[in-house]
Structure 1
């Protein structure tokens, strides 16, 4: 082991420190991606469970808002996201919300949210589905939205959380329009308290207009995160292996086991005056 004493020199100790730090960072990045993998897997499992389950009453999942007009109630517990619920109320056609810039089958159109006003005077926003833009118009031209069914409507849908990010809400041509479903911003434009989650429609009685297309549910790409986990951990192992390989080669050189690289005499310039 005397031959490995060079590892205690400042130069090699510095190389070791850099190697350990780099490996530790890669392991931590792998652990972070592993956490993201588990989180996204749970979301996909919730989506599957919501698809299979029978609907439960809205109040089993979502508490009623207790504030006044323009306020939002508490959000549901995270594990209740994607739960299928049922609720009865009356659609409010005066406060339809168009969510622009939403794509289905590579066509940009609108998702249509309509407040469902319950017997207690509160409302829950229902995403009734996707519709294309006006034929011959651009993607921002407001479409003709099918009329809401009159009277009481029983809705079955899955619980969705408010979307994050900056949200601007404007009233154009008598309808509210936005890019994201931000419940707090939308609630300020509505004349009643709003529940802290919205519903993605699965079905309703009376039946929804056939113009609506179901909004596709995108599963999270959890396998991509798992691939990153393996990638970072392999990089960490390769870094440590590389340090050991270089150190062993240096030890063999110092011990005379690893021969010096031979000089290529043919590559040397010929002496001046040589024929």
Structure 2
């Protein structure tokens, strides 16, 4: 239509370009959140599957480390995380790792990680559970850790990928202490090769000490990401709609829609003269 020729002017072409760019960026952001939604959904599905499945041998999921003492083996594929495995070995009580700053039921305490040394001389880190800090102290006071069973122990647990982020490790009162379970960093403090992921203990023979509480495993909030998908795509649609609405309003203004007709203005003097 002739009335919309103004859309071909440099000003309106610039507005159109900015509108399309903004809408495209919003669609891409929505697609990015959609990928995150699918990724987090897959994690939740693996967590649920790990609880239901029968355990498989450790070697079916975690390859044996091939380096020397103080090194960590390769990490498992992400889709093997939360797989339930079983393995037999002996706990190394001389190298207990206390992971501070861990909360269970709103109480800050420690997770206790103990290397399980296998028959081939390699080890896998086992998170035996959570315990509160020592009575009468703050959350940084080391707790009294129940001793690990002696002799052969059979562990059933779920594979947990090494935690990322900066990992500082100190030795205090004969125990290693850290804020994160970073397997490669912890391996540097240990006198044997370590598997590239750790186990979150589910069952143990002999049975675990009842002082330990299970470490809660929270599902990822995938629906939050889905909400962002909808939000960004709605914003993109609103941006395009807004451009169309403004363009139509400008076209109506140029066409004189809603203004007085010339015949109406000519009639006014005539009516006054009669009076």
Structure 2 counterpart SS, 1:145 = coil
**RMSD of equivalent CA atoms:** 0.8
Find runs of 4+ consecutive structure 1 residues off by over 6 angstroms: none
After TM superposition, give the deviation of residue 135 of structure 1 in Å.
1.1
CA distance in 2, matches of 1:9, 1:215: 64
1:229 aligned residue: 229
Residues 182-215 of structure 1 show CA distances to partners (whole Å, capped at 9, x for unaligned) of 1111001000000001000001000000000000
Structure 1 unpaired stretches of 5+: 261-275
**Mapping of residues 30-109 of structure 1, within 5 Å:** 30-109=30-109
After TM superposition, give the deviation of residue 134 of structure 1 in Å.
0.7
1:23 aligned residue: 23
Structure 2 unpaired stretches of 5+: 261-275
2:151 aligned residue: 151
Q: Does 1:205 align with 2:166?
A: no
CA distance in 2, matches of 1:7, 1:69: 72
After TM superposition, give the deviation of residue 258 of structure 1 in Å.
3.7
Residues 132-183 of structure 1 show CA distances to partners (whole Å, capped at 9, x for unaligned) of 0011101000000000111000000000111000000000010000000011
CA distance in 2, matches of 1:207, 1:189: 28
Query: Does structure 2 conserve the Cα–Cα contact (< 8 Å) formed by 1:146 and 1:209?
Result: yes
Q: Does 1:242 align with 2:242?
A: yes
CA distance in 2, matches of 1:132, 1:236: 49
TM-score by length of 1: 0.93
Query: Does structure 2 conserve the Cα–Cα contact (< 8 Å) formed by 1:95 and 1:175?
Result: yes
Residues 229-265 of structure 1 show CA distances to partners (whole Å, capped at 9, x for unaligned) of 00000000000000000100110111111448xxxxx
2:174 aligned residue: 174
How many equivalent pairs are there? Answer: 260
